[in-house]
Amino acid sequence: MKDTTAVNQISPLDRVPTSSLIAQQLREAVMSGALAQGSQVGEAELAGRFGVSRGPLREAMQRLVQEGLLDSIPHRGLFVVELAADDIRDIYAARTAIEGAALQAIIGRPDAAGIARRLDKAVAKMHTAAARGDGPVLARSDLAFHEQLVAESGSARLQRMASTLLVETRMCMASLTGKYVAPADLADEHTKITDAIRSGDQAAARKVMEDHMDDAVGRLAGPLAADREGSGSR
Partner DNA sequence: CCCTCCAAGATTGTTGACAATCCTACATTC
Partner DNA sequence: GAATGTAGGATTGTCAACAATCTTGGAGGG
Output 40 or 199, the one with its CB closest to DNA. 40
By 3-state DSSP, what share of the chain in percent is helix, strand and coil, each rounded to 5?
Answer: 70, 5, 25
User: Mask: binding to its own copies, 36-75, rule CB under 8 A, as x and -?
Assistant: -------------------x--xxx-xx-xxxx---x-xx
**What is the torsion angle, in degrees rounded to the nearest 10, for the CA atoms of residue 14, residue 122, residue 221 and residue 84?**
0
Distance CA 195, CA 7 (A): 41
| Residue 220 touches which of DNA, its own copies, none (Cβ within 5-8 Å per kind) | none
Q: Are strands 70-73 and 40-41 parallel, antiparallel or unpaired?
A: unpaired
User: x/- site string to DNA, residues 15 to 54, per CB under 7 A?
Assistant: x-xxx--------------------xxxxx------xxxx
- Shortest reach from residue 14's CB to DNA, in Å: 11
Instruction: Single out the residue of 35, 101, 186, 220 in contact with its own copies (rule: CB under 8 A).
Output: 101
**Smallest separation, CB 53 to its own copies (Å):** 11
* Residue of 113, 103, 234 whose CA lies nearest to 175: 234
Q: Which position among 4, 7, 156, 234 is part of the footprint of its own copies (CB under 8 A)? A: 156
Residues 193, 119 contacting (CB under 8 angstroms): yes
